[in-house]
Amino acid sequence: MQYVQLTSSCLSDVIGSSGLGRERFEAELKRTKPILEEIRERYADESSSLLHLAEQTDDIVALEPIAARYRDQFDHIVIIGTGGSSLGGQMLCSLAVPGASPRHNQPAFHFLANIDPHSISVMLNRLPQSRTGYLVVSKSGSSVETIAQFLICLEAVKVDVGQVKVAEHFTAITEPGENPLRSIAIKHKIAVLDHDPNIGGRYSALSLVGLLPAMISGLDVRALRAGAASVLRPILMDEEPENIEPALGAAISVGLATDKNVSSTVMMPYADRLENFGLWFRQLWAESLGKDGKGTTPLTARGTVDQHSQLQLYLDGPSDKLFTLIMLSCSGDGPSVEPKLAVDEAIAYLSGKSVGDLMDAGQRATAEVLIRKKRPTRIFQMSCLDEASMGALIMHFILETIIAAHLFGVNPFDQPAVEEVKVLAQEYLLGQGR
C-alpha cells in the first residue's frame, strides 16, 4: 500500500465525546457494503469508465507522441480550463517541480483557470508565443471562460507566428459531438482529443485531462495509474469494508457529520507538492456532496504555514472540523543547519538539523496536539511522494467521495446549483441580467 491511513483518533474511545462512537462508526461502515457491491457491479459490466481508468494503457500510448512534441517544441505550456479541467493537471504537474526528480529541461507550466484580466494580460505579454503551446480543456465545450480565453490566446499566437502555423500551438480536449470549442478548433485546423463524456471534470485527473500535462512534464503515468489501481483492488476483490481504506474514510466523515455536527473537513498536507492536491480535493468534495442541505465544507491548509495562521482556530475555536493530515517521511531530508551558525543558546537545538527534521517535528507535533485537544484527526502516513503514491491518494479520495455521497443520499456526479450561475452570467453578457 502506498499510504497508511490512521483513523483511531477520530473515535470516542480515543478522543472522548467529540469523537465518533464505535457503534455508530461500525454502523456507517456496514452501510457501505451495498455501495461497494454497486462499484463492483459497475466495474464488471463496464458501465463506469471511471473505474477502468486505472488499468488503461492504450490511451497512454496514443498520447505519448503528442506529449513528446509539446515537450520538445515548446518552452512554455499553458493549460486553459477551469475547475476540474485544470486542477487535475495542476495537481499532477506539481510532482515534477525542479528538484523533485532527476528530470531536466522540462517546459514551464502555466494554468489559465481564472478570468482576471490583469493575469491574462501579464501572461500574454510575458510569454514568447512562438515557444508556447496550449492545451484547451472543457468537457462540455461551452464553458464561457475557457472559450473566451481560447479565442484571446488564439489571436495572440496568430499575430506572432501567422495563421498557417497557429494550429501547431494548440490541442483541444472536449467531449464528442458539436460544441463551440470543437467548432472553433476544427475551423482553425486544431487537433481535438475526445474527453470521455461519462467522466466529469472533477473526476478526470486520471484521464487524458490530467495525463497529458503530466506526460509533458515527464511524469511516469503508468506508475500513477498503478498506484490508483492498488486502492481500487480491495473493492474488486470483495474485501470487507474494514479492509477498504476509502470506505473507512467515508464512514468516519459521514458519521462525524451526522452524529457530531462536524460541518467542515480540513485537508492539511505538509509537502508543498501536495498544495494543489488540496485544491483538487476541495472541488471534488464540495461539488460532489454539497446538495440538498447535506455535505461538509472542505477547507485547505498547508503544513507549517498554517500552523502559524490557522492552528489557533483549529485548536481553540469551535470543535466542528475533521482534520486530515498527510504526513510525509522526511526526517534527515534537505539541507542542514551548519552547527557553527547555531551557537546561540536559543537556537542550539537546530544545530545539525535538516529542514526535513523540522518539518517532521512540525507535522508530528500538530497531530499530537490536535488529538490532545480532542479534535477528530486522521493521519495519512506516506514513505515517499511519487507517481504511484499520488495515484493512490487520487483514487482513495475519488472513491471516498463517491461512497460518502451515497451514505449522505446524494448523487456524487451532478452539480445542479452551479448551472444557475452559468445561465445568469450569460444573461449579463447579453445585457439581459437584472
Q: What is the grid cell recorded at 389?
A: 503514491
State what percent of residues in the chain have pLDDT above 90. 90
Q: What would the pLDDT profile of 369-404 be if each residue is shown by its tens digit? A: 999 999 999 999 999 999 999 999 999 999 999 999
State what percent of residues in the chain have pLDDT above 70. 97
pLDDT at 427: 80
Torsion, CA 413, CA 52, CA 66, CA 112, rounded to 10: 20
Q: What would the pLDDT profile of 233-280 be if each residue is shown by its tens digit? A: 999 999 999 999 999 999 999 999 999 999 999 999 999 999 999 999
409: left (phi over 0), alpha (psi -120 to 50) or beta: left
pLDDT at 421: 76
Q: How far apart are CA 3 and CA 381, in angstroms?
A: 6
* Residue recorded with cell 484580466: 117
Is the pLDDT at 17 greater than 70? The verdict is yes
How far lies 118's CA from each of 112, 115, 122, in Å? Answer: 12, 9, 6
Residue ranges and CATH numbers for the domains of the chain are 4-32+244-408 (3.40.50.10490), 51-218 (3.40.50.10490)
| pLDDT band with cut points at 50, 70 and 90 for residue 104 | low
Q: How far apart are CA 352 and CA 368, in angstroms?
A: 25
- Strand ordering across the sheet containing 132-137: 108-112, 76-80, 132-137, 170-174, 191-194
Active site residue 294: no
Active site residue 308: yes
Check: CB of residue 278 under 8 Å from CB of residue 267.
yes
Question: Packing angle between helix 275-289 and helix 387-408, nearest 10 degrees?
Answer: 20
Residue of 245, 287, 387, 400 marked active site: 287
Q: Indicate the SS3 state at residue 271.
A: coil
Nearest to 394 by CA among 226, 186, 187, 150: 226
| pLDDT band with cut points at 50, 70 and 90 for residue 151 | very high
How far lies 208's CA from each of 4, 144, 194, 215, 219, in Å? Answer: 28, 22, 9, 10, 13
Query: Mean pLDDT in the chain?
Result: 94
How far lies 75's CA from each of 50, 88, 132, 165, in Å? Answer: 32, 21, 6, 17
Beta-carbon-side half-sphere exposure of residue 305 (alpha carbons within 13 Å):
10
Is the pLDDT at 99 greater than 60? The verdict is no
Residue of 308, 340, 345, 420 marked active site: 308
pLDDT at 102: 40
Indicate the pTM of the whole model: 0.95
What distance, in Å, lies between the first and last C-alpha atoms of the chain? Answer: 54
| pLDDT band with cut points at 50, 70 and 90 for residue 432 | low
